[in-house]
Structures are given as C-alpha cells and as structure tokens.
Structure 1
Amino acid sequence: MTALARTRTPLIVAGIVVAAVVAAIAWVSTGHAGPMKISDLRVTGAYVPQPASPDVAAAYFTVTNSGNVPAVLTGVHTDVSDMSMMHENTGTTMTMLHSVTVPAHGTVAFSPGRYHIMIESPARALKQGDHVTLMLSFAKLGQITVTAPVMPVGYRPPAPNP
C-alpha cells in the first residue's frame, strides 16, 4: 500500500463517520425520530350546546396535532350515553364516520355544519351549566379525556384570534 493510500483511507472513513453523524443530528432535530405520542395531540374548545330535544345532543371540539405523523381519531365515548358517533355534514347530507384523520402539524375542528359528535339518548337531560365527559380514542395512541360544558341552545364559540 502506498503512502497516499494509507493517508486517504482514514480520511475517507472519517468523512463517512462525520456524514453519518450530521445526518443523524438532522433527522432528530427535524422531529423525524421516534413514534407519534399521545402528548403530540391537544383537544381544545370542547362544548355541548344544550339540546333542543332530550333524545340527541352534539359535541364539538378542536384537535391539534403537533406531531410529524397523522393521528387517527377512531371513536368518542361519553359519560352520558352508550351511543356516541362521529358524523360529517356535507351540504344536506350527514354521514357517520368510523375515523377522522388529524394531519401532521394540523388541526381538525368539530364544529357546527362540519364534523360533530352525535350523542344519542343521553341518560339525563343536559342543561346549561352541566358538564359532559368526552373520551376520544386515537388509533395506536390511546385516549384523551376532556370535559365539555353544556352551553346555551344555539351557542357558537367566539372566533379564534388570528
């Protein structure tokens, strides 16, 4: 082996090691390392308008995903009913959903006229000032529990500040 080859080989190996370390640091610092965690999700603004009929109620909230991969909401249960379903309104059609995907670094709002939770046959009359516990189940992540106040009939939350 020549003197040039003996000098070049360690430099090549050192270059490969440095490149691997830089790539690993870049991977970790951009958040690509590690799996999605339930702590990457935040549920805010939950409320239930006081229902006009005692037979059905609706729940609304916003889910924010700060993680690098989508999160899939697979169901919502409540402490006031054995039957709660996710629905989507599109025009004049309401469709039951089996899941709703919250995109990576995104937000999904369950709001009147779009997504909502339909609470069938509440066990008790829901009146303004009451509270409903919502348990949101996310595929492969677990559950988030939030408390939703019952608001006046026709309540609409204030628009968020820009």
Structure 2
Amino acid sequence: MTLRSLPLLLAGLLAAGAAHAGQADHVRAANAWIRVMPASLPAGGYVTLRNEGDQPAVLDGASSAAYASVMLHESSTDTGMGRMRMVDRLTVPAHGQVALAPGGYHFMLMSAATPVQPGQTVQVTLHFADGSTLATDFLAKPANAL
C-alpha cells in the first residue's frame, strides 16, 4: 500500500461504517403503543420487534423528544411479588422476534416534555448496539388499555 492509497482506504472504511450505523433496515416494529398514566407518572411503552436479518439485533437503548428519558425494563413476579428491573440490552434473535408487552419487557418513558394524551402519536427512536436506529411511532393509549 502506498501513501497515496491511504486516503482512499480511509474513505472506504468511513463510508462502510456510516452505512452500518444508519437505519436498522433489518428490524421491523409492529403494534407500538404507550400506556399514558395520570399526572406525572411514567408511561409504559410496548412494541413487537421482528429481526429479518441473519445476525441477532441487540437493542441497547431508546430516546424520544417527547420524554426526558426512555429506559428498558423487565417486569416479573417472584413469590407473588411484582418486581421491575432496568435492563441494559435485549437481543432480538436472527429471523426471530421479541415482544415488549405488559408484564414483561417494556420501556419506561420518564418526564414528558408536555402532557401526552390518548390518541396522540409519539416517536421513539430505538438504538441498537451496531449503531443503527429505528424511528418508531407509538400510539398513546389510556391507562386502562391492555
């Protein structure tokens, strides 16, 4: 390799990285909704993620302009006690799916910038470990929605 070819090599590597860090084209989101709670209580976010790719997709975060923070949690029941814990990442298997649903994995949407009302759509951007993202519209539903 000559010194002259180094800029071309670097440009190619940067272009490959930028393409990889863009839209998560291999992941599809379906049935995305938010359970809006009264007052300033956190909302719950639910969605089914389908990975159409040949490699696992690792969800490692989310963000939304409508909320100060979005965290991934898992609810469980142990000896009759309901528990909730924060989760750093969630793997969607290759050619598989994972449901974020009431009673299991879900997003906790904290501190709405302005009150979110049932019927509104809120965009949440899902972040994956490979640097890709997936902007997803979540339909706001009332607290008693299932």
The TM-score by the shorter chain falls in which range? Answer: 0.7 to 0.9
Distance of 2:109 and 2:86 partners within structure 1:
12
Distance of 1:89 and 1:57 partners within structure 2:
14
Name the structure, 1 or 2, with higher relative contact order (CA <8 Å, separation 6+): 2
Distance of 2:87 and 2:39 partners within structure 1:
23
How far did residue 53 of structure 1 move?
3.6
**Partner residue of 1:132 out of 122, 131, 135:** 122
How far did residue 141 of structure 1 move?
4.5
Change in CA separation of 1:122 and 1:152 when aligned onto 2, cut-off 3 Å: same
Task: Tell me if 1:153 matches 2:143.
Answer: yes
Deviations 1:97-128 (A, max 9, x none): 11100011111000000011001111111211
Task: Tell me if 1:110 matches 2:96.
Answer: no
* Percent of aligned positions that are identical: 31
**The residue matched to 1:38 in structure 2 has which SS?**
coil
User: What letter is aligned with 1:83?
Assistant: S
Please state which structure has a larger fraction of its residues in helix.
1
In structure 1, runs of 5+ residues without a counterpart are 1-34, 157-162
Preserved contact between residue 62 and residue 110 of structure 1 (Cα < 8 Å)? yes
Q: How many residues end up aligned between the 2 structures?
A: 121
Question: Which position in structure 2 is the counterpart of 1:79?
Answer: 65
Distance of 2:57 and 2:126 partners within structure 1:
12
User: What letter is aligned with 1:135?
Assistant: T
Distance of 2:113 and 2:131 partners within structure 1:
29
Task: Tell me if 1:49 matches 2:35.
Answer: yes
Distance of 1:56 and 1:70 partners within structure 2:
30
Higher Rg of the two aligned structures: 1
User: What letter is aligned with 1:42?
Assistant: R
User: What letter is aligned with 1:57?
Assistant: A
Distance of 1:125 and 1:38 partners within structure 2:
29
Please state which structure has a larger fraction of its residues in strand.
2
Alignment map for 1:81-96 (pairs within 5 Å)? 81-91=67-77, 92-96=82-86
Q: TM-score, normalised by structure 1?
A: 0.70
